[in-house]
Amino acid sequence: MLRLPVYMDNHATTRTDPRVVEAMLPFFTEKYGNPASRTHVFGWEAEEAVKQARQAVAALIGAGPREIIFTSGATESNNLALKGVAWAYRERGNHIVSVVTEHPSVLDPLKRLEQEGFRVTLLPVDRDGLISSDQVVDALTPQTILVSVMAANNEIGVLQPLEAIGKVCKERGVLFHTDATQAVGKIPLDVEALGVDLLSLSAHKFYGPKGVGALYVRKRNPYVRLMPLLDGGGHEQGLRSGTLPTPLIVGLGRACELAQAEMHDEAERVRSLRDRLWQGLSSRLDEVILNGHPTRRLPGNLNVSFRYIRADALLVSLRNLAVSSGSACTSAEVRPSHVLLALGLEEDLAHASVRFGIGRFNTEEEVDWAIEYVAEAVTKLRRMNPLYQMAHATPVEREA
């Protein structure tokens, strides 16, 4: 039975899986010790739970447990990776390469580093939102210390060629960071095969709790050095001081276990639902544009522009469907997404974009309902738009 409202904004956040919640609950009320307390059983239980979670995170991405540093989420992980490398390797060089379509949690720290005297090169993307390893090669200089390229884009879901980029970085002796927030738990990732030296992730993007994430930091070939953002206590090998949130870490670990066990089948199911949604919308409506690469994208991502409407007006009409717009709202204006503009989309199409995020708990029934619901809303808005009416009028109607 269909229950409203329907949630299809799984790139923004995901529902915490009940199995994750079940694993977390004892660590709030029964096993509530501090994992740094090593003189009693409460501390030992918490320490063991953290150890197991660390192993689960490491196993999901092909890393070693000691290479996992727990953080509050991907924003902190990205800041620690970028600033930590920049400060630690300042004597070696001052140049960082990234991509114009990165998440603000990468772009904003890079702006801060520029204020400190670092040089940043942001690579442009093609119409599908992709870069090439050749672009990275051309951007590298003797002063380059870090390349940061996201694994999967949070808006259009495109998957960057990490393995080819990692190979280039290894050949040049440059560290390689990827913001894998949207990719972890949804597609296979192996830091060794990809040549990744630092990787950011966040639990709430793949059915874990909010408020916890991790940074993978390579410990061999090469051993990556970082300067910490926080001082005080020396937790997490001195890279992230502060009492560990054991319940959240347990939740992250359980989310990783579930992802590793179910990722293949889940990706196929979610991809099928995504394709069903796209086929339904594109058959019901004209002038619907797919944003991003048609196949090289996350299984559950669908970003489309409905020409002749404004996405913000559409979202107001879709009160029973949780999706997101490609526009960023500020107090003064609604501006189109920097990602969509980087693809070369005209501003009107960027303003007309909607991101659907299909996830673990979505059903065929919800997808079929969403197709009809969105098509009806778009059609209604277009009827009120004289530009659409003019563009689709017959010659006789235009003369009249």
Residue ranges covered by each domain of the chain: 6-11+263-399, 18-259
Specify the range with the lowest mean pLDDT, choosing from 61-75, 154-168, 301-315, 323-337.
323-337
Average pLDDT over residues 332-346: 87
**E strand or H helix that includes residue 305:** strand 301-306
- Taking every pair of Cα atoms in the chain, the longest distance, rounded to a whole number of angstroms, is 88
The number of C-alpha atoms within 13 Å of 357 and in the hemisphere containing its C-beta is 23
pLDDT at 330: 43
What's the CA gap between 191 and 187, in Å, rounded? 13
Computed over every residue of the chain, the mean pLDDT equals 96
What's the CA gap between 313 and 188, in Å, rounded? 37
What's the CA gap between 74 and 211, in Å, rounded? 9
The CATH code for residues 18-259 is 3.40.640.10
Q: What percent of the chain has pLDDT over 70?
A: 96
pLDDT digits (tens, 9 = 90+) for 250-305: 999 999 999 999 999 999 999 999 999 999 999 999 999 999 999 999 999 999 99
- Residue in the block written with tokens 């739970």: 49
397 has pLDDT over 70: no
pLDDT confidence tier of residue 156, bands split at 50, 70 and 90: very high
Specify the range with the lowest mean pLDDT, choosing from 175-184, 279-288, 322-331.
322-331
Terminal Cα-to-Cα distance of the chain (whole angstroms)? 49
Give residues with Cβ within 8 angstroms of 139, minimum separation 6.
97, 121, 123
What's the CA gap between 81 and 229, in Å, rounded? 10
pLDDT at 331: 42
Give SS3 for 322.
strand
Instruction: Check: CB of residue 121 under 8 Å from CB of residue 97.
Output: yes
Q: Which residue intervals of the chain are DSSP H helices?
A: 18-24, 26-29, 41-61, 74-88, 104-115, 133-139, 162-172, 191-194, 246-284, 311-317, 338-342, 347-351, 364-383, 386-391, 395-399
What's the CA gap between 99 and 81, in Å, rounded? 16
- Token pair recorded at residue 184: 């972890």
What's the CA gap between 160 and 180, in Å, rounded? 10
What's the CA gap between 75 and 98, in Å, rounded? 16
What's the CA gap between 325 and 306, in Å, rounded? 11
Average pLDDT over residues 119-140: 98
pLDDT confidence tier of residue 396, bands split at 50, 70 and 90: low
- Token pair recorded at residue 77: 């992980």
- Give phi and psi for 121, each to the nearest 5: -110, 120
- Token pair recorded at residue 147: 């390349």
The number of C-alpha atoms within 13 Å of 147 and in the hemisphere containing its C-beta is 32
As to burial, measured by CB atoms within 10 angstroms (0-12 exposed, 13-18 middle, 19+ buried), residue 222 is exposed
Q: Tell me how long the chain is.
A: 400
- Give phi and psi for 391, each to the nearest 5: -65, -25
pLDDT at 400: 55
- Token pair recorded at residue 4: 């409203």
Of residues 212 and 330, more confidence is placed in 212
Q: What percent of the chain has pLDDT over 90?
A: 93
pLDDT at 77: 98
CATH-assigned architecture of domain 6-11+263-399: Alpha-Beta Complex (3.90)
Cβ neighbours of 340 (radius 10 Å): 26
pLDDT at 398: 58
pLDDT at 393: 78
333 has pLDDT over 90: no
pLDDT digits (tens, 9 = 90+) for 8-41: 999 999 999 999 999 999 999 999 999 999 999 9
- Residue in the block written with tokens 């000691």: 66
Chain-centroid distance of CA 59 in Å reads: 20
Give catalytic residues, as residue numbers: 329
| Beta bridge mates, 325 | 354
What's the CA gap between 221 and 185, in Å, rounded? 25
